[in-house]
A and B are shown apart, each in its own frame.
Chain A
Amino acid sequence: MSLATDSRRSPSTASSPLRRGRIPAGFVVLAALGVALVALPLLGLVLRTPWSRIGEILASETALTALRLSLIVATTSAAISFVLGFPLAWVLVRGTFPGKTLVRAVVILPLVMPPVVAGVGLLAAFGRRSGLVGSWLYDWFGIQLTFTTAAAVLAATFVSFPLAVLALEAGLRGLDERLEDAAATLGASRWYVLRRVTVPLMGPQIAAALVLSWARALGEFGATITFAGNLQGRTQTLPLAVFEQLQTDTDAAFAVSMLLIFLAFAVILGLRGRFLR
């Protein structure tokens, strides 16, 4: 702590462009394969979308309702993930308590869980008949969570929460805590430090957390259909609408899929300039 360090300010280094001959042989090929893996299905979708009909399909009540519902569910879910995830990330990064590793593993688990399993788990916790908490809610207050928009939000939050926590953890870890110490000595209360130092310095990571969890929530299917059900206007989010359309009108399925992709793209690109590096 008492080592004299060179605190001279050097201009922030922009990422150096890859110099010729510095990329290991074969990496370019592998990298191209990786891009192809992701790009080809997208390309397939673009080519099969019935562009002449797309306006009519997307203006349909099914599509618009699903869109509105998806936006509400995904945004609410991302907000909940942030409000609960930030304090959790804080505790995980800066706190010490027994069983911390276990807690962290549990929180990350939904990320690797099959979504349908997640749905079954949500039923086991919040179902009105056999749910741990759900049955109590139903028997005592008459509150039923299944088949509601709240259930769709719950399902979406469950699967996207780990993403928010991971991104926020990374952000907190990358902070120089001494800046917060300095702020304290300058008279800032803990809340003021959080508002004016910690969060601003974490801007990019907070944006990443929000974007990632929002996008994941937007695309959630398995847990939603298992736990929340499928009803237009209440629980039929865009992925559920796509699935239903796939059975009967594949053109419509492609069109709505394109909509989903545009949404995700728009958010990712829109924030790229300002926040994401």
Chain B
Amino acid sequence: MTLAVDVTSRRGAFEVRAAFEAEAGRTVALLGPNGSGKSTLVSTIAGLVPPVEGAITLDEAVLDDPANDVHVQPERRPIGVVFQDLLLFPHLSAMDNAAFPLRARGVTKPEARQRASELLARLGLANRADARPRELSGGEAQRVALARALIVEPALLLLDEPLSALDVAARMRVRELVRDELARFPGVRIIVTHDPVEASILAERLVLLEDGRVTQIGTPEEIRSAPRSRYAADLVGVNAVRGFLEPIGEGTGRLISSEGALVTPWPEWYVEGDVVGIVRPIDVTLGPDRPEGSARNVLFGRVTSVAIEGDRARVRLATAPPLVAEVTLGSVERLGLRSGVEVWASFKAVEVELLPP
């Protein structure tokens, strides 16, 4: 079973354009910062916000095709959604919440309640079946919402920020449970999150969403080793600059981005178009004076933040393009690095690793 999404969707003034596929058996995570369009995409897949362009299909079934006036109402889609705010029905008990989808489909009350209580028991909520949502803890409410989405055995399970509302302790426990449930769920599984750790643990494939656009799709490992956007790079902790290349002779080139330029080696495979240049923070050298030496990349800028991590420090620089450097604590002291201070940053051309987009 495969869900194919290729849509442009609008909510207010905000537009999301996304194309990806999700197969049964491999959980996909839509990963992106807040405001990147994840919720809009969830609403579109759920059928609440019809796309303006494109199509959504689940195997042969066409769920959305605005060009041909096809839009399957949410209640007719074989989906189960767990919303960011859970949205449990406050006037129903946990059991009746879980039974709701069955009752909505005409299943008799006794049978629906029977199946609901079985599912709740499996999720460890046997003794909370009669509690109202406001009496449940965060983790318990999460599990009720999950039960409610699973009970009709949908073809597609959609979890929107499943762990974000939980405190740290609950998060770890519920994450294990979610992972187990996802593993045993036979259909298409999509989770939506802003937390890369969560995404890496729960999903086999990541779809990175930034500012309404998909910037990268891949396994956690693939993204880690070859981040293709600032966000991905941030996730992984490296510098990434995206732009096009200009040769400047002698096997070197200039990577020109909207935020600045870097000198890089000239790759054989380059013909034209965008590339991503990766610079590891550890390779960026900081100093008080303009460095002399062979380093071809020399930049000057203000420090915007210094974050101590163990015995190292990550220093953000407002250079052109912006960079993160990793230095020792000693260097921080020696250079008097703190917000507002201006420093010189340098690294060699070969220390820029180029990746095709």
A contact residues vs B (CB 8 Å cutoff): 1-12, 176, 178-179, 181-190, 192, 196-197, 200-201, 203
B118-156: which residues lie under 8 A (CB-CB) from chain A? 133-138, 141, 148-149, 152
Residue B229 lies at the interface, judged by CB distance under 8 Å to chain A? no
- Distance A52 CA – B164 CA, assembled complex (angstroms): 70
Q: Give the contact stretch, choosing among B70-78, B183-191, B278-286.
A: B70-78
- Distance A11 CA – B103 CA, assembled complex (angstroms): 28
* Contact across chains for B90 and A201 when beta carbons are under 8 A apart: yes
Top 3 nearest A-B pairs (CB, nearest first) are A188-B104, A182-B87, A184-B74
Q: Which residues of B contact A12 (CB under 8 A)?
A: 134
Q: Which residues of A contact B37 (CB under 8 A)?
A: 2
Q: Which residues of B contact A9 (CB under 8 A)?
A: 133-138, 141
User: Would A2 and B104 be within 8 Å (CB), given that A7-B138, A197-B89, A201-B90 are in contact?
Assistant: no
Residue B46 lies at the interface, judged by CB distance under 8 Å to chain A? yes
* Contact across chains for A5 and B85 when beta carbons are under 8 A apart: yes
User: Would A4 and B84 be within 8 Å (CB), given that A9-B133, A192-B104 are in contact?
Assistant: yes
8 Å CB contact of B48 from A5, A181, A201: A181
Q: Which residues of B contact A203 (CB under 8 A)?
A: 91
- Distance A10 CA – B91 CA, assembled complex (angstroms): 15
14 sample A-B contacts, Cβ–Cβ < 8 Å, listed by A number? A1-B40, A2-B35, A4-B84, A8-B167, A9-B136, A181-B46, A182-B81, A183-B89, A183-B100, A183-B104, A189-B104, A196-B100, A196-B103, A200-B91
* Contact across chains for B83 and A178 when beta carbons are under 8 A apart: yes
Give the B interface residue count (CB, 8 A). 48
Question: Which of B35, B87, B135: most chain A Cβ within 10 A?
Answer: B87
- Distance A75 CA – B166 CA, assembled complex (angstroms): 49
Residue B86 lies at the interface, judged by CB distance under 8 Å to chain A? yes
Residue B243 lies at the interface, judged by CB distance under 8 Å to chain A? no
Would you give the shortest CB distance from B214 to chain A, in whole angstroms?
Answer: 15
8 Å CB contact of A4 from B48, B134, B167, B194: B194
- Distance A58 CA – B33 CA, assembled complex (angstroms): 73
* Contact across chains for A187 and B91 when beta carbons are under 8 A apart: no
Residue B79 lies at the interface, judged by CB distance under 8 Å to chain A? yes
Would you give the shortest CB distance from A2 to chain B, in whole angstroms?
Answer: 4
Interface of A is mostly: loop
8 Å CB contact of A187 from B38, B48, B101: B101
* Contact across chains for B85 and A178 when beta carbons are under 8 A apart: yes
Q: Which residues of B contact A6 (CB under 8 A)?
A: 165
* Contact across chains for A182 and B83 when beta carbons are under 8 A apart: yes
* Contact across chains for A8 and B48 when beta carbons are under 8 A apart: no
Residue of B nearest to A188 (CB): B104
Would you give the shortest CB distance from B98 to chain A, in whole angstroms?
Answer: 10
* Contact across chains for A184 and B75 when beta carbons are under 8 A apart: yes
User: Would A5 and B46 be within 8 Å (CB), given that A185-B77, A186-B101, A200-B91 are in contact?
Assistant: no
Q: Which residues of A contact B84 (CB under 8 A)?
A: 2, 4-5, 7
- Distance A184 CA – B105 CA, assembled complex (angstroms): 11
- Distance A181 CA – B42 CA, assembled complex (angstroms): 12
Residue B26 lies at the interface, judged by CB distance under 8 Å to chain A? no
Residue B265 lies at the interface, judged by CB distance under 8 Å to chain A? no
Residue B161 lies at the interface, judged by CB distance under 8 Å to chain A? yes
- Distance A4 CA – B194 CA, assembled complex (angstroms): 9
- Distance A197 CA – B103 CA, assembled complex (angstroms): 12
Would you give the shortest CB distance from B159 to chain A, in whole angstroms?
Answer: 12
- Distance A176 CA – B87 CA, assembled complex (angstroms): 9
Would you give the shortest CB distance from B227 to chain A, in whole angstroms?
Answer: 22
Q: Which residues of B contact A8 (CB under 8 A)?
A: 138, 165-167
8 Å CB contact of B86 from A7, A11, A185: A7
